[in-house]
Structure 1
Amino acid sequence: MELGGAVVLVTGGSAGIGRAVCLELAVAGAAVVVHGRDGRRTQDVADQVNGVAVLADLRQNDAVQALAGQALAAHGRVDVLVANAGLGWSGPFVEMSDQEIAELITVDLVATMRLARLLLPGMVERRTGCLLLVASVAGRTGVAGEAVYAAAKAGLDAFAESLRLELTGRGVQVGVVVPAAVSTGFFDRRGRAYDRRVPRPVKPETVARAIVRAIEQDRAETWIPRWIRLAAVVRVVFPGGYRRLAARFGESIRSG
């Protein structure tokens, strides 16, 4: 897809991966609509990319409809959705409250589905568009202490794969980017710092460049770093061995 002149909505664009994506898109010539919850930070990013800031708290029931309306009003259309907004939570599953479970599933999975449903008709009518969803290796392999987060990301993967098949021949591409650990404030906000030696966190700019390439080249799936895909392959081919290794390296989460 040609990004020059394309209108791109980036959810969670005020910081981390989202901010880096907005900067990369601006370099590619896209008209960027920056979504965030924090007004000052979101506007700061919008100013940097000469874009439009739109505010919405995706934990709220009416937020998705409002966000879609604001985004469409900015330029009259949305050609690309980069669904990056997400919440994290780390710790024993039984310590999660009902509200925390509901909010994580809402932001990481349901909001993306609802936003895609509102923006897709215009893309299909114009026979051009792209949905790029930021998934996670956790959704492919499972991670101790992140059961709900992993489930939400697994759902995002299945949603993307199914929608890609549904939209075949209709001019709209669907892709997922599957990062491992990324050096952002995400880990601080999830309640537990990242303390694994492998994989080492990558920079958000690395993920952002991969996202832009995935859009431009219509890639169905991109792993960051590339070698992390081996974990998912081992899980499928040697499930017993994978589970033994995963249990060993996940012991610190269960005991701490």
Structure 2
Amino acid sequence: MELDGRTALVTGASSGIGAATAAVLAAAGCRLVVTGRDEHRLTEVAERTGARSVVADLTDPAQLRLVAEAAREADLLVHSAGVGWAGDLAAMPPDSVAGLVALNLTAPVLLTQAALPGMSRRRRGHVVFVSSIAVVGVRDEEVYAATKGGLRAFAASIRFQAAARGVGVTTVFPGAVRTPFFGNRGRPYTRGFPRMVAPAAVAEAVLDGVRRERGEVFVPRWLSAAARLHGAFPGAFHRAARRAG
């Protein structure tokens, strides 16, 4: 997909992967619309990238509808908004469960529903879902992993109709990324392996996925081997994961 002059909407753009993605898309010549909940940080991103900013909480139906209006005009839609929660499932507040599902899964589904008709009519467009390697299952992050697995299944399903209408679909699966995510989920990242990657690495993977119309992209690339092992030998994968702690 040629990006120069195309309109791109990036969610979760006030920090982390979303902010880095906005930067690389601006450099590629996109006309940007960025959305996020942190008005101050979002304004800074918009000023750096020449974007139009839409401050919105995507878990709020009224604010989600506002962003959906922008999605209808987008040639490229990047779903990078997301939140995590780590801990014993029994201790997870019901509001946190609902919030994770609303932001990580429901919002991308509804925004994609809004964007696809226009992309199909124009016979061009691309939708990017920032999922996670957590789709293989992560201890103490059951709800988060479920939402990211749901994104993968949704993307794989809409790829059928999208391809017939000239629209590409890419799912990106990052490992641990150096963003505020881990602090916000309630538990810092303490593992020495796999090592954390910079948000810019994920942003470049998004750009490459769109330009090359890749279906699935892993960051770093070797994580695809872990996903294949999980798919082919789930029992062996989970035994290895338990030993790794």
2:215 equivalent among 220, 225, 235: 220
Q: Distance in 2 between matches of 1:15 and 1:182?
A: 12
Code of the aligned partner of 2:67: L
Question: How far did residue 249 of structure 1 move?
Answer: 2.6
Q: Distance in 1 between matches of 2:234 and 2:34?
A: 41
Q: Match of 2:142?
A: 147
2:93 corresponds to 1:97: yes
Question: How far did residue 197 of structure 1 move?
Answer: 1.6
Question: How far did residue 61 of structure 1 move?
Answer: 2.2
Q: Match of 2:28?
A: 28
Question: How far did residue 66 of structure 1 move?
Answer: 1.2
Stretches of structure 1 that go unaligned for 5 or more consecutive residues are 251-256
Q: Distance in 2 between matches of 1:91 and 1:98?
A: 13
Q: Match of 2:45?
A: 45
Q: Distance in 2 between matches of 1:77 and 1:227?
A: 36
2:174 corresponds to 1:176: no
Q: Distance in 2 between matches of 1:169 and 1:61?
A: 30
Q: Match of 2:13?
A: 13
Q: Distance in 1 between matches of 2:184 and 2:144?
A: 13
1:162 equivalent among 141, 144, 157: 157
SS at match of 2:205: helix
Q: Match of 2:224?
A: 229
Question: How far did residue 42 of structure 1 move?
Answer: 0.7
Q: How many residues align?
A: 245
After superposition, the C-alpha distances for 1:109-168 in whole angstroms (9 at most, x for unaligned) are 0000001111111111101001000010001x1000100000000000000000001222
Code of the aligned partner of 1:135: S
SS at match of 1:42: helix
Code of the aligned partner of 1:193: P
SS at match of 1:218: coil
Stretches of structure 2 that go unaligned for 5 or more consecutive residues are none
Code of the aligned partner of 1:17: I
After superposition, the C-alpha distances for 1:62-110 in whole angstroms (9 at most, x for unaligned) are 22211122x26xxx82111000000101111111111100000110000
2:114 equivalent among 114, 118, 124: 118
SS at match of 1:48: helix
